Structures are given as C-alpha cells and as structure tokens.
Structure 1
C-alpha cells in the first residue's frame, strides 16, 4: 500500500490548486517536499486549460471571491471532462451562509472525487448545522464515522474528516487513521496542505479511498516525527521540520501507520 509514495515521486504529478491566500506558499512548499509539482492558477481565462493537463485539481474556499468561485467551477468542470480527480476543501463551511452555499454550489455543479474537511465543515455541507468559530471547528459531538458515510453516500465521493482520529469513507469502506500530532493545529494551513497532498496521491492512483488512507497516514507520520525534533512548544520549528519530514517519507514508514478498517459488521481489523 505504501509503495504509492515511491510511485508519486517517480511520476511527480502536477497538482492544480485554487486555494486561499493564507496558505499558498506553505501548500506549494509542502507539495514540493512530498515530490509533487504544484501550480497555483486562479484566472478564469486559464483554469480550464490548466485543469486539463493536471493530475488533480484542488478547490479550497478559504478566501472567497465571486471571480474565484467562477474559476473553481470552470476548473472543476474541465477536470471532470478530462478524467482528472477533483478535491474540495470547504474551509469554514457553516461560519457564514455564503461559505456554506458556495461549497454546496460547487458540489452540485462539479463531480467532486473527494471532500476533505473537519467535522463541522462536513456537517454543515451535509445539512447538519454545527456552530463554527471563524473557520475553525469547536467541540464537535456525534459520530464522525456515521457523518463520513452519510456525506460519501450523499455526494457519491470519498470523504475525509480530519480530527484527533481521521475518518475516510466512500460509503462502502471506512477507515480510521490515528497518526498525527496536536502541533498540526498550531500552524496555519496544515489542513489545506493535507487536501493538496491527498490530491497528489489521487493523481497517481484510481483507488481513491486507498490513496486517501495512505496520504492521511503518511501526513500524520511526518507530523509525529517533526514534533519529536521540534518539541511541543515550538510551532515555528515544527513547521520547518514538518516540511523536512514530508521530504523524507518512504515506503518503510508504512508500519508506523495506525489504520483500522471498519467492516460492515462494525468491528475493526488492523490494515
């Protein structure tokens, strides 16, 4: 399963990001460290052409404008027409009506391959309102596994809900991943970068749920290693070490993955 990291580096997939202004640099550096090739193209005059040649398209609604929304839909439709997977990150859905309606509008007009967000974001996109504080989720109650499965069935895509334990589901198969570190929540853009990292793995693998599980696992493993080097009180150093650890990831990190596969009978088997 973890041979995908070698495949990714051999193929160096082009990941077309229409993302927010806060995370552009970090996202590009993170994708480069991983071994992918990032491109940030936002103009509606060129996004269809860029999406056509990309390995994956990542749509992130963190800093919305009307022009950007139009560009996202153009890029998403072009990706659909050319068999390119599309990742949607509904940043802050639920914080405002505009954000929530924008995420739903994209899901209605674009065939999204994978939806990645925290529980509050996914809940609000699905229609189960949970209070938001800015673009961050607060204390979320409820079953994230049920939520991921519901969203996957509703939108006919793979869903990744990130949190202390990450949940990945396509409605049929569901996995939980317990890798990661709390310092990821102290650095702006780590969730957004994860969406793009997942996009890089989707670009080299048509098995989207397995690609997402590997991406989420390796991302968490890199965070764990970075935290060991940086210490728990140095988020600035953590950010630098995290990029370094993304660059060092390889197939031998597979045994460090803390993955469970949820069977239909509702018991867990170690992957």
Structure 2
C-alpha cells in the first residue's frame, strides 16, 4: 500500500495501540494517536502484558523513563508481540547516557522490532558509532547518521527512521526523505516520543516501511500547518493536534521525497 494511503486505513480501522512510553510523554502520545485516528492504551504492568498485548494491532516501546520493572514489561511485551506477529516500534531514547540504558536498548533491539525511531545521535550510538548527543537532544545531523541507519536496518531486518529537520528512512535497501515541519516542534516536550506511538498505530495498518513513512509525513504536514497559527510552543501543541486530525492522504504525499 502507498504510504499516504495508510492514513485512510488508520482512520477506518482505528487500531488499538499498546503504548509503553515514558512518564513525560504519556499525555501527548495518547492525544497524538487519538488525533490521528487510532486508539491508544498506556499499559505498563508486566502482569497484564500476556493478556493485553495480543488484543492490539501495534506496540510502541519508548525507554525514556525506563526502570527495572518497566524494562521487564517491555521485553515481555516485545516477545508476546513477536509470537502473535504484532508489529512493534522501538524508541531508544538517550540510550547512550548510561550502561544500564545502553544494555536495555541493545536487548530490545535484539528482539527485532519492525521499526526503530530515533534522532541522529541515538541511531549512531545504537550502531556502535560515536555521536555528539546530550541527553535526549541530538548533536549530530541526520545526514551523518544515514550510514548507521542502513547498517542497523540490514543487520536487524528492520526499518530505521532518523528524525530531524529532514527525516531519513531506510530498510537497508529502500530509502526516503520527508521534509517540512516547524522549528517549534523540538520545543514541545515529548513530541518526538509521541511520533513513535503514532508509528505503532500506522504499523498496525500496513507494511513497516510504508507505516513509518506515513507517520513521518503526517508529523511534518501537521507541524507545517500548526506553525502558521501558533504564537509559540504552547499554542503550537494545540494547533498541532488539530492539524493531525485535519490532515488528508494527499497532504502526506506532498512531503515525501
């Protein structure tokens, strides 16, 4: 299916998405998934994973505020998703800042997510290359991480999305770029994390490469539209949610390179 056509499928199917995201991102991630047209569920207890994950169309795992209990839940959810052929997305947030976080990201990566989404510094470090990231912020360009993205995609048979001013997407063979958005987007906390949740929703409706591409395009279109109405980061978030809901498939097609 053509990537932008997945928006119609998303709104028709309204897939349930298991969003295992961080404390900071929960509210905006849930609102982003809802505004796009899907149904989010923020379930983290390990005791619920075996029963709940199989009910979902997609799974999103974000390690932003990881802890030992959450990591156990995440690894179990990934295993359950794989058993039931449910696509899942990994966001290795700032995984390079501690040995514990690095180990968690690598263990989750070894479970073969359908999509990996991160900024340039996160993708470089995930591939074992040196980067200039500081906390959750990227210190590297998207262009600098393209080789690492292709290597990860090939090694782990996954789709890798490197997000930034111009997003880059690859499955090791195909590649695409998505332009647009707004400089206000990095000023809204956890907006990138919410994009990972949206990728989980799109992954429930179509192939991983097309799903990731549609999610990237949806964000860029909404960001561009919201910036024309916003007066700063606060009003941008409000208009961004409205723009996600208003976006149409043809809008998404226009930003994919």
TM-score range, shorter-chain basis? over 0.9
- Consecutive unaligned residues of structure 2, counting only runs of 5 or more, are none
Question: Do the aligned partners of 1:48 and 1:79 also contact (CA within 8 Å) in 2?
Answer: no
Give secondary structure in 1 for the equivalent of 2:60: strand
Bigger mean CA deviation after superposition, 143-152 or 12-21: 143-152
Distance 1:183 1:236 in 2: 10
4+ residue runs over 4 A deviation:
none
Q: CA RMSD in A?
A: 1.4
- Identify the structure with bigger relative contact order (alpha carbons < 8 Å, sequence gap 6+): 2
* 1:106 CA displacement: 1.1
Question: Do the aligned partners of 1:95 and 1:131 also contact (CA within 8 Å) in 2?
Answer: no
In the comparison of the two structures, how many residue pairs are matched?
Answer: 255
Task: Give the corresponding residue for 2:37.
Answer: 35
Q: Summarize deviations over 1:90-144 as a string: whole Å, max 9, x none.
A: 0012122221111001112x22110000011111111112133122122448633
Task: Give the corresponding residue for 2:155.
Answer: 154
Bigger mean CA deviation after superposition, 139-148 or 42-51: 139-148
TM-score w.r.t. structure 2 length? 0.95
Give secondary structure in 2 for the equivalent of 1:3: helix
Question: Do the aligned partners of 2:36 and 2:245 also contact (CA within 8 Å) in 1?
Answer: yes
Bigger mean CA deviation after superposition, 34-43 or 172-181: 172-181
- Consecutive unaligned residues of structure 1, counting only runs of 5 or more, are 261-271
Question: Do the aligned partners of 1:222 and 1:245 also contact (CA within 8 Å) in 2?
Answer: yes
Structure 2 residue aligned with 1:63, among 50, 65, 70? 65
TM-score w.r.t. structure 1 length? 0.90
Distance 1:89 1:37 in 2: 19
Question: Do the aligned partners of 2:119 and 2:142 also contact (CA within 8 Å) in 1?
Answer: no
Question: Do the aligned partners of 2:159 and 2:169 also contact (CA within 8 Å) in 1?
Answer: yes
Distance 1:163 1:212 in 2: 14
Task: Give the corresponding residue for 1:116.
Answer: 117
Bigger mean CA deviation after superposition, 32-41 or 93-102: 93-102
